[in-house]
């Protein structure tokens, strides 16, 4: 029997663009002149921050053609017992949420597309094996190209596996990317039409991670099956205004 919380017709409605015909865009927060939500979640002034190597400062990232990266992209669920380099992690973060140009206080062009340039996601990292970086739970600050320490120590392998519904390869990874959604960023412009485009945007981010991994002899497997409450608790988010929507373990893999 279907859960009482599940309405198949309503779910399919939000995947179609009929919703756009039903939304009164004159009533959105943007149309009413309300300020846009912050485009980056703030952090404590005394929080520990880690500067990351920026484009132009990567010395260990081999040039890779787009054609090769697309051709060889696969999901990996087995990882070598080998750390990522910190500059490799910096490259993956820039590839998935990096800022190319800040247009205004509420708008920025990034390395991935987003509906209306709203970019409703935050990136958290459960770091278990990255050279030059202490174990811990971090969050990416794209506008400063930095990491901020959110929790020390990192979630354990057992905690990560449990949160991922027993998928052990998640707990084996050198680092696990968690993406959370802050729906208010998208709702400010699109109201009820936000949810379809946020789901599409998550796919853009994950695909960039797959392709970037091909440049550093690493691999990933995007994961959409997880325990919601457990993941939200690991990240310290409230589960309502911010909640987990996607995760992806990353580690070094064998290349043919």
Residue ranges of the chain whose pLDDT lies below 50: none
Query: How does DSSP classify residue 16?
Result: S
Looking at residue 35, what is its pLDDT? 94
pLDDT at 41: 93
Tokens of 178: 């968690």
CATH of the domain at 128: 3.40.109.10
Q: Would you say residue 232 lies in a domain?
A: yes
Domain total in the chain: 1
How distant, in Å, are the alpha carbons of 98, 100, 109, 143, 204 from that of 103?
14, 10, 7, 12, 21
Question: Does residue 43 lie within any of the structural domains?
Answer: no
Q: How many CA atoms lie within 13 A of 192 on its CB side?
A: 15
pLDDT value for 3: 64
The answer to whether position 164 is within a domain reads yes
pLDDT in tens, 33-72: 999 999 999 998 899 999 999 998 998 898 899 999 999 9
- How far is Cα 54 from Cα 42, in angstroms, rounded to an integer? 21
Domain that holds residue 163: 8-37+48-252
C-alpha to C-alpha distances, 61 to 40, 52, 85, nearest whole angstrom = 27, 14, 10
pLDDT computed for residue 4 by the predictor: 62
Q: What is the rounded distance in angstroms from the CA atom of residue 64 to the CA atom of residue 214?
A: 8
CB of 242 closer than 8 Å to CB of 178:
no
Q: Model-level pTM?
A: 0.95
Angle at 180 between CA 49 and CA 147, to 5 degrees: 10
Measured CA to CA, the distance from residue 111 to residue 136 in angstroms comes to 26
> 2 in a domain, yes or no?
no
pLDDT tens figures, 189-201: 999 999 999 999 9
Domain membership of residue 3 (yes or no) is no
- Confirm whether 217 is domain-assigned: yes
Answer yes or no: is 99 within a domain: yes
Sign of CA dihedral 205, 171, 232, 6: positive
- The contacts of residue 98 (CB under 8 Å, 6+ apart) are 55, 110, 111, 142, 145
Give the ranges where 62-193 is alpha helix by DSSP (H).
Answer: 66-72, 86-97, 157-163, 168-172, 183-190
Identify the pLDDT of residue 116. 93
Q: How many CA atoms lie within 13 A of 35 on its CB side?
A: 6
237 within some domain: yes
Question: Hey, what are 76's tokens?
Answer: 């990996």
For residue 61, list its beta bridge partners.
none
Residue 11: predicted pLDDT: 87
């Amino acid at each position: 029997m279907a859960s009482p919380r599940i309405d198949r017709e309503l779910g399919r409605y939000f995947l179609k663009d009929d919703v756009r015909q039903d939304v009164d865009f004159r009533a959105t927060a943007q149309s009413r002149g309300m300020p846009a939500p912050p485009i980056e979640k703030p952090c404590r002034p005394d929080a520990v921050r880690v500067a990351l190597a920026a484009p132009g400062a990567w010395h260990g990232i081999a040039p890779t053609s787009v054609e090769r990266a697309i051709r060889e992209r696969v999901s990996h669920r087995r990882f070598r017992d080998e750390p990522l380099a910190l500059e490799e992690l910096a490259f993956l973060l820039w590839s998935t949420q990096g800022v190319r140009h800040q247009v205004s206080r509420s708008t920025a062009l990034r390395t991935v597309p987003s509906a209306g340039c709203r970019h409703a996601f935050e990136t958290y990292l459960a770091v278990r094996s990255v050279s030059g970086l202490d174990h811990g739970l971090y969050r990416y600050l794209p506008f400063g190209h930095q990491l901020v320490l959110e929790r020390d120590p990192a979630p354990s392998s057992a905690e990560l596996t449990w949160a991922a519904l027993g998928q052990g390869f998640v707990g084996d990874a050198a680092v696990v990317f968690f993406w959370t959604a802050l729906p208010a960023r998208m709702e400010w412009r699109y109201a009820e039409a936000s949810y379809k485009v946020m789901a599409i945007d998550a796919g853009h981010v994950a695909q960039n991670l797959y392709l970037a991994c091909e440049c550093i002899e690493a691999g990933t497997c995007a994961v959409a099956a997880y325990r919601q409450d457990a993941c939200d608790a690991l990240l310290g988010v409230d589960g309502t205004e911010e909640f987990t929507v996607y995760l992806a373990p990353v580690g070094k893999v064998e290349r043919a």
